[in-house]
Amino acid sequence: MLQVLAPLVIIIAAVGGYAGLHWTKPEPEKKDRTPRALSVFVDAVERKDVALVVLTQGEVRAGTMVDLVSQIPGRVVAVSSEFIEGGLVQAGMSLVEIEPVDYQLALAQAQARLAEAEVALQTAVATAEVARKQLRNASQASDLALRKPQVAEARARMDAARADLQQAELNLSRTKIALPFDGRLISTRVDIGQYVTPGMALGRAFAIDKVEVRLPLSDSQLASLGLPIGFVAATGQGLAVSFSAMVAGSEQSWVGKLVRLDAVIDRDTRMIYGIAEVLAPYTLNRSNQGMPLAVGLYVKAEIQGRQIENGYVIPREALRAGNKVYVVDDAGKLDIREVVVTHSSLTDAVIASGLEVGERVVVSSIRNAIQGMALETLGLVEGANRVANREQGKAVGS
């Protein structure tokens, strides 16, 4: 019996001792922990005059592009040395010559017919004058007796002969095909010995006096330009546009003007398109490194828009999705503001309302931002770093 009770007594004593120690142990000291403030970089809201800049892009295309077409049939007997792809041609330069013999003969025949018609008219006039003098009462005589119809017929034949002569001269001039402007050839399709027919395309060329760039613009960009739909600039006027592109391994730049806006909005993209012109892109208005603004080149465009006076300006990274801005108040708490944005670029945002001058806006990334959360500011992003960041952003967006 004692052997059975002894283990039970030991177990009960151990459990009782453990329970006594547990209930008599001292309570741990409790400390109230406050959330740690999140460290962020901030920038101050500025108020200043701002010249809005719109960034877009487009493809360079010729202001004038035509197909060289033969207006008469014949065999090609000569082509210019510049009648090649990329050839530089001047206005009036003969590019393709069609065999002129048949047209020279037609011209000689037309000249002969005109001479015959002139003699016939003179004869008819003289005969009519004789008939008028032979009639005793010419005032009562009929037109046929006075030979007026014969004179009219002779005059009509002479007019027809003169028209045939003009047509023959025109056809002979068309044996030499030229451009009415200075230009460049894109393609050629004929050579010596080939027979051409009226309407046959012989090549394609474009004028080099100017090129155009068709630029897509959103509704907000249109507002930044301050121009109405269908805008057309006066001659020599327009908004300044800077173009840039990588060509031959270097950054090239050109200048032009936005001269008009389309009168309709594209139904597929909901964008409106503007046309910018660059004059003399192959001669006078080359890039800073002597590169022409070639047709077909894809360029970035920076359009100088309207001027805003006393606008509230913040860094672009301070503008959050949904037009919200995170502001650090005087107590170091987060204040989430909704603002009205007038314009935004890669570097700055111009705010119409919702901010005051000198307020600190957060430029750091914040996950799960909560109204009133504690923030610790690490200082203003200003001075050389701020200027460098903005210049870098401008270079990326230009």
Which CATH number characterizes residue 388's domain?
2.40.420.20
Distance from C-alpha of 187 to C-alpha of 83, rounded to nearest angstrom: 9
pLDDT tens-place string over residues 98-151? 999 999 999 999 999 999 999 999 998 888 787 777 776 656 667 676 678 888
**According to the model, what pLDDT value does residue 31 have?**
55
Q: Is residue 267 part of a domain?
A: no
Lowest mean pLDDT among 7-11, 103-107, 329-333: 7-11
pLDDT tens digits along 369-390: 889 999 988 877 654 344 444 4
Residue 319 lies in a domain: yes
Residue 45 falls within a domain, yes or no?
yes
Residues 325 and 389 in one domain: yes
Q: What angle do CA 363, 367, 368 make, to 5 degrees?
A: 125
Q: What is the pLDDT of residue 167?
A: 96
Assess if residue 84 is contained within a domain. no
Minimal CA–CA distance to 231: which of 272, 278, 280? 272
**Would the pTM count as exceeding 0.75?**
no
111 in a structural domain: yes
21 has a pLDDT exceeding 80: no
Q: Indicate whether 385 belongs to any domain.
A: yes
* Structural domain ending residue among the three candidates 145, 174, 203: 174
Residue 360 in tokens: 């600190």
Q: Is 119 found in the same domain as 46?
A: no
229 contacts 262 by C-beta, under 8 angstroms: yes
Tokens of 275: 């046309």
d(CA 161, CA 157): 6
Choose one of 153, 174, 195: the last residue of a domain.
174
Nearest to 229 by CA among 257, 266, 258, 260: 260
CA separation for the pair 181, 200 (Å, rounded): 21
349-370 in b/e burial notation, b at 16+ Cβ within 10 A? bbbeebbeeebbbbbbeeeeee
Residues facing residue 319 across a β-bridge: 325
Question: Which of 148-157, 158-167, 344-353 is most confident?
Answer: 158-167
Tokens encoding 287: 């890039």
Q: How many domains does the chain have?
A: 2
Residues contacting residue 341 through CB under 8 Å, at least 6 positions apart = 319, 323, 349, 350, 351, 352
Give per-residue pLDDT as tens, 27-41: 666 555 566 788 899
- 46 with 104, same domain: the answer is no
pLDDT band at 18 (very low <50, low <70, confident <90, very high): low
Range of the domain at 154: 100-174
Q: What is the pLDDT of residue 390?
A: 43
Residue 79: partners with Cβ closer than 8 Å, 6 or more residues away: 95, 96, 97, 190, 191, 192
Same domain, residue pair 392 and 317: yes
Q: Is residue 21 part of a domain?
A: no
Percent of the chain with pLDDT over 70: 84
Burial of 27 (0-12, 13-18, 19+ CB in 10 A): exposed
Q: What is the mean pLDDT of residues 207-227?
A: 93
Task: Give the span between the Cα atoms of 364 and 378, in whole angstroms.
Answer: 10
Q: Is residue 75 part of a domain?
A: no
Instruction: Quote the pLDDT of residue 394.
Output: 37
Residue-level pLDDT at 310: 87
How far apart are alpha carbons 284 and 219 in whole angstroms? 34
Q: Domain boundary residue among 152, 174, 196?
A: 174
